[in-house]
Amino acid sequence: QSVLTQPPSVSEAPRQRVTISCSGSSSNIGKNAVNWYQQLPGKAPKLLVYFDDLLPSGVSDRFSGSRSGTSASLAISGLQSEDEADYYCAAWDDSLNGLVFGGGTKLSVL
């Protein structure tokens, strides 16, 4: 059972927009910024969004992040087949004094 809650899976058609939610608590998302990672099949995770809504160099602007209260979201617009991957949110937890991940969301592009 992960500290951060994500939907196990989402699906959407190509060229559409999808959002992935990440729900936490006052000790993690309520106080600390959220980072998002993309993990393609058989690969190491890749930083996708950091500090809630910042994109690392080289990441497509089709990806965007937001945080409000104790929840965060990752949005992907203009879906492409190459976006099929697992997506994880993560944040520091002040109560646990450690980092916590979400359970991951598998994105299928229909």
Partner 1 sequence: QVTLRESGPALVKPTQTLTLTCTFSGFSLSTSGVCVSWIRQPPGKALEWLALIDWDDDKYYSTSLKTRLTISKDTSKNQVVLTMTKMDPVDTATYYCARIRSGRPYDFDYWGQGTLVTVSS
Window 17 to 36, contacts with partner 1 (CB under 8 A): 32-35
Name the segment binding partner 1 (CB under 8 A); options: 11-19, 58-66, 71-79, 101-109: 101-109
Alpha-carbon distance 5 to 43, whole Å? 23
- What percentage of the chain's residues is helix, strand, coil (to nearest 5)? 5, 50, 45
Q: Are 78 and 68 in contact (CB under 8 A)?
A: no
**Which of the ranges 18-26, 43-51, 58-66, 74-82 carries the binding residues for partner 1, by CB under 8 A?**
43-51
Largest CA distance in the chain: 40
Interface pick for partner 1 out of 17, 40, 56, 78 (rule CB under 8 A): 56
Where do contacts with partner 1 occur on this chain (CB under 8 A)? 2, 32-35, 37, 39, 44-47, 50-51, 56, 88, 90-92, 96-104
